[in-house]
Amino acid sequence: MSRRSLIQGLGATAGLLAAGVVPAFVSAAMALGSESGGEDGTGLEYLTEEDGAVNYPGHTVSYADPPGDESWAMVIDVKACVGCRKCVYACVEENNIGRNSAFTYIQVLEMPLGSMELEHGDVNYKEGGRPDKWYLPIQCMHCSEPTCVYGCPVKATWRDPDGIVLVEYDKCIACRNCLVTCPYDARHFNWVEPEVPPEEVNPEVPLDEKAGVVEKCTFCVQRTRNGGTTACTEACPVGARTFGDLSDPDSDVSTLIRKRRAWRLKEALGNEPAIWYVG
> How much is the pLDDT for 134?
97
Mean pLDDT of the chain: 84
| Contact by Cβ (8 Å): 149, 165 | yes
- Looking at the fold, whether 91 and 117 belong to one and the same domain comes out as yes
Question: What number is the average pLDDT over the span 23-35?
Answer: 35
User: Residue 85 domain-assigned?
Assistant: yes
* pTM beyond 0.85: no
> How much is the pLDDT for 28?
36
| Residue 4 pLDDT class (50, 70, 90 cuts) | very low
| Contact by Cβ (8 Å): 206, 166 | no
The pLDDT tens digits of the residues spanning 57-77 come to 456 788 999 999 999 999 999
Domain holding 180: CATH number? 3.30.70.20
Question: What number is the average pLDDT over the span 11-16?
Answer: 40
The pLDDT tens digits of the residues spanning 219-245 come to 999 999 999 999 999 999 999 999 999
| Contact by Cβ (8 Å): 176, 182 | no
- Looking at the fold, whether 13 and 127 belong to one and the same domain comes out as no
Query: 238 lies in which domain range?
Result: 72-142+220-278
d(CA 83, CA 136): 8
| Residue 21 pLDDT class (50, 70, 90 cuts) | very low
Distances in Å between the Cα of 271 and the Cα atoms of 22, 58, 135, 138, 141 are 19, 24, 23, 15, 9
d(CA 102, CA 194): 10
User: Residue 27 domain-assigned?
Assistant: yes
| Contact by Cβ (8 Å): 221, 62 | no
User: Residue 151 domain-assigned?
Assistant: yes
d(CA 108, CA 138): 6
> How many distinct structural domains can be found in the chain?
2
User: Residue 196 domain-assigned?
Assistant: no
- Looking at the fold, whether 102 and 230 belong to one and the same domain comes out as yes
The pLDDT tens digits of the residues spanning 154-185 come to 989 999 999 999 999 999 999 999 999 999 99
User: Residue 160 domain-assigned?
Assistant: yes
- Looking at the fold, whether 248 and 267 belong to one and the same domain comes out as yes
- Looking at the fold, whether 121 and 242 belong to one and the same domain comes out as yes
Question: What number is the average pLDDT over the span 112-141?
Answer: 94
